[in-house]
Structure 1
Amino acid sequence: MKIAFHGTNAENFHPGFEKLLLGSYLIRSLSDELSEPAERKYFEEAEVIVGTSLSNAQPRPTQARLYQVAGAGYDGIDFSCLPPKCTVCNCFGHEDAITEYVMSAVLTKYVPLAEADKKLRKGEWDYQAGRPEGLRRECSGTAIGIVGYGHIGSGVARRAKVFNMEVHIANRSTLTVDHIIDHYYPLADLSTFLAAVDVVVVALPLSNDTSGLIDQQAFAAMRPDSLIINVGRGPVIKEKALYEALKDKQIGGAVIDTWYVYPTDSNDTSYPGNYPFHTLDNIIITPHMSGWTWGTISRRQGVMAENIHRLEKGEPLLNIVKRGEY
């Protein structure tokens, strides 16, 4: 069986992968461009492709039986470019890393370590205990609102509970209030949900239903000191609405990890949006890094190897997003 790791992102999962497989396989990492004839030929003949992007600009993988997305999001895969028999699966394993990122972002609102450090380096003791100007609110007892209750959203909720936060969930499917969830809202009641929380975490994938869900009306419903964090997909939040809400100080701030503009190659130094977010002082911008850890790599490799074993044995695959036709 030929296995192809296609592109820079997928290539990160290749080292050590052979040790996870039972049996002998042909495995090769291929460039994003597939510029060499031998690469194109191998890509066309591979039965398993691990990748994150597939379009009409690339050769057709005519022998593919499994397209294993090297992550959770599959909006970069054009299913029409795959043979009908090919099943598409994604993988997760990033929720621990992302929940750590989210809780770090939440704590920036309540524990101003960077600001205190910056001031003290200039001899300013504003945050010293005993000074009234240094008093601050604790994270404990505040309300966190999570939009989307999948792998990431549920992980964030569990961690937030450890910090004694009140957990509010807005979700498409109905949820039951329990020892983790304090309040549930349908997405149709988004404004009420947003008005009730101090921190908003967007953890939704991008779809026709979620694109632009957080718009100007949503920002108008938020508390004036609220913090919004996006670890889902950038366009779930309307870009112009986000920029204007921050520029006009309509909300307290934002921590954004998923974007509207991405680099085309490693030499591309483009800014991540169509608006100058980098000039604003009430936003932390990061380069889609929240789930990128060695732990994520290892967990995803395990799922990929398991799916290859299942494919060979004719067993049901894990995390199917598009089932092949037989």
Structure 2
Amino acid sequence: MLACIFLDEVDELTERLVRQAAPKNAQVLFLSEIEENKRAEYLEKADALLTATYIVDEKLLRQCKNLKIVQKTGVGTDNIDKKAAAALDIKVDNVPGGNANGVAELTMGLILAIYRNLIPLAALGHRGKWAMWEYRGASFEIRGKVHGIVGFGHIGKRTAQLSRVFGAKLIYYNRTRQAEDIEREYAVKYVPLDVLLQKADIISIHLPLTKETKNLIDAKRLKLLKDNAVIVNVGRGGIINEEALYEEMKKGRFAGAGIDVWAKEPFDSQNKLITLPNVIATPHVGAGTLDTMREVYRLCFEKIIAACD
């Protein structure tokens, strides 16, 4: 029987979905449900750890004498000490593509919400105000706009497919340029990052957080953007410099920003961006659909079984 410990504290629905996805030869325990004085004992015997955002550092890894794999329930593994894991011969894995559709749909939802002013219109409606005409001069369609996709992995590709259906013109930046047949398949044109930032009406970010991507979109680069640009970050917090973004937006620049990932999670009332009316602030829910969760947990256990075989 494989011993698997889910490190994050989760709600009842998530716990049920994880247990449903687990194979019959796997025992799933949740760290938050294990008495503190017994946690070390269970961790020492664990074959696999599952983590969403829980920090898996060297100290924790060294406690797990029997550990074969640390399985991320998403894509970005920046919360796992991969160097320490490698030194201890522990595999680190993720589920690339498992959440691609969910995150891509949220990307498009945020763009639409900003372009069509859905948040302020809904708020007015709840107050009984019929605001049929108030936002027409500040509402736009995706069709014909230039959508710049920063990061062209599974999520970036799925976003391109959806945006193309809306009639956007697609450009992209990626550390490694895609092959010509991929560019043709997705109808995208590669451009350097600074060119993308200057040309795009819509910019969506789909990158992991690394040394190279931290503060990639800084104060200097934000000044390259069009004044009416839409910015969406569903990649990782820390890629956009949040303080610099706030400084630009409080001047009235940008049509709006949709931010699902934050430099500090959970964000708090000290984050100035959440005070701006044209910032849609969501709490890292890109992959937070029932459909995505089922698929992701299925893939997680598939990888755990393979690693422990």
TM-score normalised per structure 1: 0.82
**Where do residues 1-326 of structure 1 align in structure 2 (5 Å cutoff)?**
1-9=2-10, 14-15=15-16, 17=18, 20=21, 22-31=23-32, 36-51=36-51, 52-56=54-58, 58=60, 60-79=63-82, 82=85, 84-92=88-96, 93-118=98-123, 121-126=128-133, 136-175=139-178, 176=180, 177-185=183-191, 189-263=192-266, 270-271=268-269, 275-313=271-309
Identity of aligned residues (%): 27
Relative distance call for 1:5 and 1:165 in structure 2 (3 A) is same
Partner of 2:88, secondary structure, is coil
CA contact (8 A) 2:91 2:307 kept: no
The alignment yields a C-alpha RMSD, in angstroms, of 2.6
Which is worse superposed, 288-297 or 173-182?
173-182
Could you list the runs of 5+ residues in structure 2 that have no partner in the other structure?
none
Relative distance call for 1:10 and 1:40 in structure 2 (3 A) is farther
Please say which structure displays the higher CA radius of gyration: 1
Relative distance call for 1:239 and 1:127 in structure 2 (3 A) is closer
* Residue identity in the other structure for 1:301: Y
Which is worse superposed, 225-234 or 236-245?
236-245
Which is worse superposed, 133-142 or 241-250?
133-142
* Residue identity in the other structure for 1:29: F
| Counterpart-to-counterpart distance in 2, 1:286 and 1:135 | 22
Could you list the runs of 5+ residues in structure 1 that have no partner in the other structure?
264-268, 314-326
| Counterpart-to-counterpart distance in 2, 1:217 and 1:181 | 29
1:149-187 Cα deviation digits (max 9, x unpaired): 0111111000001111111101111123314233211xx
Partner of 2:16, secondary structure, is coil
| Counterpart-to-counterpart distance in 1, 2:251 and 2:40 | 50
